[in-house]
Structure 1
Amino acid sequence: MKKAENIIVGISIGDLNGIGSEIVLKTFEDNRMLEMCTPVIFANVKTLSHLRKSFESTAPLHGIDKLDQVLTGKINVLNVWRENIELAYGVNNPVVGEFAIKSFTAATNALKEGQIDVLVTAPINKYNIQSEEFKFPGHTDYLAKELQGNALMLMVHDKLRVGLLTDHVPVNEVASHLTEALIKQKIETVRQSLIQDFSINKPKIAVLGLNPHAGDGGVIGKEDEMIIRPVIKKMFEKGTMVFGPYPADGFFGSGQYEKYDAVIAAYHDQGLVPFKTLSFGNGVNYTAGLDKIRTSPDHGTAYDIAGKDKADHNSFKEAVYLAIDIYNSRHQYAEISKKPLKTKEKHL
């Protein structure tokens, strides 16, 4: 296993008119962070040097042109572009969106090639990144295409972990997406992630119902009884510790979530509204189920405070911590999996 400072954390810079550069540089101003990992920001050193003046960052930047020039103990900035960009904090600009995607795709390629160990993504604007070359709702969908595995959005804060059966799907289409195959896949992805990424040997998983009161026995919608419950029953009978479907309205308020290692919500807001309420701005978005590790803060570009030295970098810092923790957990899991089980010798 690599020493802590040798774990290379690749960082895509996100929307340069947002708070991405601020939260990234504020995170690594603390020299202790450089003892935990080696950051590589996929951007341009001149661009970041200009931006850091806006929030009086003291972070020293080390510009590089190739990844074999990375130095430990430094905030490395890989020059992904050379152009001068006209930036204006708080402005939704498609040109700036193009550079956000240049950073992200370059970082993803480095992740695929094993040139970086983990990827942490700063926030993008989902509207200004769209182009003929990039037609994805966001980071997760692109990573699902480029990397191996079954991508699943898993929100993490301490022991609170909330996954989703459906993520960026309009509410009026959620029910049509819920199939036996999808639900089974998502539960299994969460279970495997809890084991290899969070070192939980026998995870307990709760699944929330789609309809109010989880359908109330079929009175308020049939999906919970006809689709979700049978899948849970089959998987439980085969040894997966999965329970539900539970009515979503009182599940978090009553503290019931504390009894489980993860909760799977049926759709985006059902899971993220309570998660963000309980995580107090320190939550992390983890893309579980892939062969590579990617995390991000649980917030957006925050145009309204961009460039005003008001951005809270805690969520981004937690995203870096989590990526490193998962990297170490996966290596420990791989080592344990290789070792043969010890058996007692029989004495005749």
Structure 2
Amino acid sequence: MSEKLKIGISVGDVNGIGLEVIIKTLADSRIFDYCTPIVYGHTKVASFHRRTVHVHDLNFNVITSPAQAHHKRANIINCWEEDVKIEMGVSNEIGGKYAFVSLERATNDLLAGEIDALVTAPINKDNIQNENFNFPGHTEYLQQRDGASEVLMFLVSDTLRVGVVTGHIPIARVAESISVEKILAKLRLMDASLRNDFWIRKPKIAVLGLNPHAGDNGLIGSEEKDVIIPAIEEARANDILALGPYAADGFFANGAYQQFDAVLAMYHDQGLIPFKQISFESGVNYTAGLSFVRTSPDHGTAYDIAGKNKASETSFREALFEAIHIVKHRRETAVLNENPLAFAKLSRDRD
């Protein structure tokens, strides 16, 4: 049996539900059969959160580097020395400061190849801002650290996969930010991710319109005719099976999404609102297009329930397993590209 993957976990805002869902996930010792988790935080902060969720049988193995990780334990790297005052449910400078310290250390180890993937607990996009983090969110920060020219915010679950052309930008800037080139770039990333990360041989992608009723042939906006349709046509000319544009409301309401492997939305809320309605408990946020694998739960810091032992760990647990699956799929794809005859053996191993 090959060595288990080392999965790094950043703790997010220490005043939110991040550590609660991390602890609840790792309290199930069966997790250690699938991966070696390494939390980037501090034992004192973790112990505080462990008491609030009444988990008494989870003890962290303290290490200073991933190389020291115990493969049958929940490991933790102390990323700071000072005591931290926890104020559950409060957005403050402390929450943002240590969220960044955790994320930066985990990302450094990820880029150095010391961990195999990263799962990020939720941050507050406002209080984390500092001279080293001037980004709308995790996605843009990790894109910059990786040096990736283009990435795709890809929300995935067992029943639905949704990507967005424009991410964390004001709604007033959406229309001007959409172009044939931008849509085509996202379609290429989505198609490649579906093939390499999710092992879908012939992906079928639905593309949503920007305007109500997908523009009604130009009566309610021209973006569909001028931008979206030409992008779809060019994608199809490049062997990407993209169809549309579809009116977003009817597309999700009548279940048409079930006929596709993924959906490309034009802007954040157009894709994320239906995704969270359909897959909130099990949804995972995946950043496609990076050289490494990063996932996260599809919820935020949830200050309103922080410290009340009410947070569900389902989405975080799914993010952890999705990271494992994607790393393995990528490695298997690399093997197949080098040696197509290995397909039969890999298929037997997967069965």
Residue 45 in 1 paired to residue 47 in 2? no
Question: 1:184 matched to which residue of 2?
Answer: 184
Q: Deviations over 1:239-297 (max 9, x none)?
A: 21111111111001111111110000000110011101111421000001111000000
Q: Tell me the C-alpha RMSD between the 2 structures.
A: 1.3
Kept in 1, the 8 Å contact 2:163–2:263? The answer is yes
Question: 1:207 matched to which residue of 2?
Answer: 207
Letter in 1 for 2:7: V
Kept in 2, the 8 Å contact 1:45–1:62? The answer is no
Q: Could you state the TM-score of these two structures normalised by the residue count of structure 1?
A: 0.95
Q: Deviations over 1:21-78 (max 9, x none)?
A: 1100100111100111000000111221232111111321111122221111011000
Instruction: Name the stretch that deviates more: 58-67 or 86-95.
Output: 58-67
Q: Deviations over 1:119-149 (max 9, x none)?
A: 0000111111011221111110100101143
Give me the whole-angstrom Cα distance separating, in 1, the residues matched to 2:241 and 2:54: 50
Give me the whole-angstrom Cα distance separating, in 2, the residues matched to 1:127 and 1:133: 14
User: CA offset at residue 232 of structure 1?
Assistant: 0.5
Give me the whole-angstrom Cα distance separating, in 1, the residues matched to 2:341 and 2:237: 26
SS of 1:217's partner is coil
Instruction: Name the stretch that deviates more: 188-197 or 235-244.
Output: 235-244
Kept in 2, the 8 Å contact 1:148–1:291? The answer is no
Give me the whole-angstrom Cα distance separating, in 2, the residues matched to 1:87 and 1:340: 53
Give me the whole-angstrom Cα distance separating, in 2, the residues matched to 1:314 and 1:188: 30
Matches within 5 A, 1:106-125: 106-125=105-124
Question: 1:29 matched to which residue of 2?
Answer: 27
Question: 2:157 matched to which residue of 1?
Answer: 157
Matches within 5 A, 1:82-231: 82-149=81-148, 150-231=150-231
Give me the whole-angstrom Cα distance separating, in 1, the residues matched to 2:78 and 2:114: 15
Letter in 1 for 2:121: A
Question: 1:267 matched to which residue of 2?
Answer: 267
SS of 1:290's partner is coil
Question: 2:347 matched to which residue of 1?
Answer: none
Matches within 5 A, 1:7-26: 7-26=5-24
Residue 287 in 1 paired to residue 287 in 2? yes
Question: 2:277 matched to which residue of 1?
Answer: 277
Question: 2:348 matched to which residue of 1?
Answer: none
Instruction: Name the stretch that deviates more: 136-145 or 51-60.
Output: 51-60
Give me the whole-angstrom Cα distance separating, in 1, the residues matched to 2:217 and 2:313: 45
Letter in 1 for 2:30: R
Letter in 2 for 1:236: R
Give me the whole-angstrom Cα distance separating, in 1, the residues matched to 2:265 and 2:280: 19
Give me the whole-angstrom Cα distance separating, in 2, the residues matched to 1:39 and 1:148: 26
Give me the whole-angstrom Cα distance separating, in 2, the residues matched to 1:51 and 1:25: 8
Question: 2:346 matched to which residue of 1?
Answer: none
Give me the whole-angstrom Cα distance separating, in 1, the residues matched to 2:51 and 2:94: 22
Give me the whole-angstrom Cα distance separating, in 2, the residues matched to 1:49 and 1:299: 23
Give me the whole-angstrom Cα distance separating, in 1, the residues matched to 2:244 and 2:185: 16
Instruction: Name the stretch that deviates more: 160-169 or 143-152.
Output: 143-152
Give me the whole-angstrom Cα distance separating, in 2, the residues matched to 1:302 and 1:123: 9
Kept in 2, the 8 Å contact 1:8–1:40? The answer is yes
Question: 1:345 matched to which residue of 2?
Answer: none
User: CA offset at residue 159 of structure 1?
Assistant: 3.7
Letter in 1 for 2:65: K
User: CA offset at residue 238 of structure 1?
Assistant: 2.9
Percent identity, aligned pairs only?
Answer: 48
Give me the whole-angstrom Cα distance separating, in 2, the residues matched to 1:71 and 1:122: 22
Kept in 1, the 8 Å contact 2:251–2:257? The answer is yes
Question: 2:241 matched to which residue of 1?
Answer: 241
Q: Could you state the TM-score of these two structures normalised by the residue count of structure 2?
A: 0.94
Give me the whole-angstrom Cα distance separating, in 2, the residues matched to 1:220 and 1:96: 44
Distance change (3 Å), C-alpha of 1:314 and 1:340: closer
Letter in 2 for 1:95: I
Give me the whole-angstrom Cα distance separating, in 2, the residues matched to 1:33 and 1:341: 32
Kept in 1, the 8 Å contact 2:280–2:298? The answer is no
Kept in 1, the 8 Å contact 2:19–2:49? The answer is yes
Instruction: Name the stretch that deviates more: 13-22 or 280-289.
Output: 280-289
Question: 2:315 matched to which residue of 1?
Answer: 315
Letter in 1 for 2:161: R
Kept in 1, the 8 Å contact 2:164–2:271? The answer is yes
Letter in 1 for 2:26: F
Kept in 2, the 8 Å contact 1:159–1:261? The answer is no
Gaps of 5+ in 2: 343-351
SS of 1:300's partner is coil
Question: 2:345 matched to which residue of 1?
Answer: none
User: CA offset at residue 340 of structure 1?
Assistant: 4.9
Give me the whole-angstrom Cα distance separating, in 1, the residues matched to 2:295 and 2:280: 18
Kept in 1, the 8 Å contact 2:10–2:40? The answer is yes
Kept in 2, the 8 Å contact 1:17–1:92? The answer is yes
Letter in 1 for 2:318: E
SS of 1:135's partner is coil
SS of 1:252's partner is helix
Give me the whole-angstrom Cα distance separating, in 2, the residues matched to 1:276 and 1:36: 27
User: CA offset at residue 16 of structure 1?
Assistant: 0.6
Give me the whole-angstrom Cα distance separating, in 1, the residues matched to 2:341 and 2:221: 48
